[in-house]
Structure 1
Amino acid sequence: MRRRWYVLLPGLLITAVLVVGAWRVLPVSYSSQSTVALLNSRKGAAADGNPFLSMEPSLTGMADSLARNVNSDAAKGDLKRAGLTEKYEVKIADNAQGPLLWITVTGPEPAAVLKGNTTLMEFTKQRLRDLQADQKVAPDAMIRLTTIVPPQKPEAQLKSTVQYLVMGGGLGLVLSLVATFFAEARRRGAAGPRHRQGPAGGEGSAPRAAARSGRPEERAAPPEPYDQRDQPTVQLPVRPAPGTRPARRPPSWVK
């Protein structure tokens, strides 16, 4: 990497420029959320006078039905005519222990997102009344909708944008490293030997070239004849003469 810095450095610079440019060009989305709850009718809560103490399981089923109705294509058309063009979602709140609904609006403009959340909340209340009016429900027996959390200040949703930028930066880094090692591999391959020399520094190449040329003056000389005098001598041990006794060695305990 140090030797091929002129390949790695431009790749890293291009990657950094593209990441910064994408950060400025990509649109940032804002999200606003509110929470509403379904309450028992005035007639049903007349016994104890507190509608929060009479949240029956049937209210949760009605909340699910209301969310599906508001998310339908027909409701999207009505909301678009009412001025809500941002993306929205109405669903039962996560880990809810009652008929609670989350109302979420997402868009590129914070002011429009906040206004759209208010519009969607009022539309949900009106749709709840219309569903019950179609069934000829008396006004005192109608389920009501109350606001638990008003529309919150829109917050920037940067998680998806940061994920895309990290993926793009990682891809640029990998491509820069691949280009660097590829340039190093090509350089080493080009610097390798193009032909092999003789075993003794090229001395064996001359006789082979002369033999291939076919000219008698350049042919290699024939080997010399075998001479036995060139063999090394071997010194054999001398045996003692007959009738002589070898010298006796002293015992091993004598120093």
Structure 2
Amino acid sequence: MDLAEIFRVMCRRWYVLVPGLLLTAGLTVGAWLLVPVSYESQSTVAMLNSRKGAAADGNPFLSMEPSLTGMADSLARNVNSDASKAELKERGLSLKYEAKIADNAQGPLLWLTVTGEDRPAVLKGNRTLMAFTAQRLNDLQAEQAVPADAMIRITTIVPPQNPEAQLKSKIQNLVMAAGLGIVLSLVATFFAEARRRGRTPAKHRQEPARTPDAEPAPGASAPARPADLGGDLADGLLTGTDGQAGHPAVDPVVDPVVDPAVDPVGDARGDAPDAPPAGEGDRRQPDQPTVQLPVLPVAERRPAKRPPSWVK
């Protein structure tokens, strides 16, 4: 099935395709209006060396050791645990959040992300998450009895940002739903076309026309072809000679051989081929063969009254 046939089917079954497309468009617009928009707020914090470790140069940003990155990873895992989620829920943060090491970070940087449908609640939740993260860092070090001047500190690099609408995922879902609706409409259209064709009566279906000479008549053999008469004789019929140098070809026009048992109509009429004129047989070449091609008897057809092929 090519594109032209597909277009014709769609035009014939428009009463199935058009309602499906309209229903798909209506559902897509309704989903866009009813599905709420998700907002996201993000902040960034960094791990700093202890006051005792930074006393040498006095700048904690110049003494970021690789061990601080390991501590940032441990803190992120602790904040994402179930126990921390339960504690944050008690503090009023019931939205979805995530703490992880910043992508392509060259230091101990943490991303704190809060996602929700209420913009003020998302911004407030990010601030709560930042305070909880700093407290968890101190609690982890206090459990190990780390002196106060040797504790790792945390500082804010990027404060909680204003929540932004996340339309990418919403648009992707709506596009997938619209595509599914279009596909289902096309499937329904071609299904209706298939059922319609299946119910079409046999007498209304077009059948290929048959030529009268496509099949031989019952009880009759196929006419002989020049190739079946032999190599030399076939070449003579095609080239105009009888296969011998200097001799013309035999006249391929022959009398039809009518069998009275096969053609009772001709036998009843008494039709028979004319006898050769007297004295004409003496001029026949003795070495010239006589060729007779059988002709199928046809109803209501008189045999052609022609002189025999051996008469010149």
Normalised by the size of structure 2, how large is the TM-score? Answer: 0.65
Q: Which runs of 5+ in 1 are unaligned?
A: 201-222, 240-255
Can you list the C-alpha shifts for 1:14-57, whole angstroms capped at 9, x where unaligned? 11111111112222211111110000011101111111110000
Cα distance per residue 1:67-124 (max 9 Å; x no partner): 1111111111111111111111101111111100000001110100000000100110
- Aligned-partner Cα distance in 2 for 1:112–1:89: 16
Match of residue 70 from structure 2: 61
Counterpart residue number, 1:14 = 23
For 1:108-119, what aligned pairs fall within 5 Å after superposition?
108-119=117-128
**Amino acid corresponding to residue 59 of structure 2 in structure 1:** N
Task: From the superposition, tell whether residues 34 and 195 of structure 1 become closer, same or farther in structure 2 (CA, over 3 Å).
Answer: closer
Instruction: Map 1:201-216 to 2 at 5 A.
Output: none
What amino acid is aligned across from residue 116 of structure 2 in structure 1?
G
The whole-number CA distance in structure 1 between the counterparts of 2:135 and 2:108 is: 17
Partner of residue 158 from structure 1, selected from 127, 145, 167:
167
Q: Supply the distance in 2 between the matched residues of 1:145 and 1:131 (Cα, whole angstroms).
A: 13
Find the residue that maps to 2:194 and give its secondary structure: helix
- Please say which structure displays the higher CA radius of gyration: 2
Which AA in structure 1 matches 2:70?
G
1:67-216 to structure 2, matched below 5 A, reads 67-194=76-203
**Which position in structure 1 is the counterpart of 2:37?**
28
Rounded Cα–Cα distance in structure 2 between residues aligned with 1:41 and 1:2: 76
Counterpart position of 1:205: none
Measure the CA separation in 1 of the matches of 2:50 and 2:195: 81
Higher relative contact order (CA 8 A, sep 6+): 1
SS in 2 for 1:48: coil
Q: CA distance change for structure 1 residues 170 and 195 in 2, over 3 Å: closer, same or farther?
A: closer
Counterpart residue number, 1:231: 303
- Residue 48 in structure 1 maps to residue 48 in structure 2: no
The structural deviation recorded for 1:187 is: 2.8
The 10-residue stretch of structure 1 (188-197 or 79-88) with the greater mean CA deviation from structure 2: 188-197
Q: State the distance in 2 between where 1:140 and 1:234 align.
A: 134
1:249 counterpart residue number: none
1:2 partnered with 2:14: no
Q: Deviations over 1:213-244 (max 9, x none)?
A: xxxxxxxxxx98241523223334655xxxxx
Q: Given residue 304 of structure 2, which amino acid in structure 1 is its aligned partner?
A: P
Partner SS, residue 84 of structure 1: coil
Please tell me the root mean square deviation across aligned C-alpha atoms, in Å: 2.2
Stretch deviating more after TM superposition (37-46 or 174-183): 174-183
The equivalent of 1:253 in structure 2 is: none
Following the alignment from structure 2 to structure 1, what is the Cα–Cα distance between the partners of residues 199 and 158? 71
Q: Which amino acid letter does the alignment assign opposite residue 129 of structure 2?
A: L
Q: How many residues align?
A: 216
Q: How far apart are 1:133 and its partner, in Å?
A: 1.2
1:135 CA drift (Å): 1.2
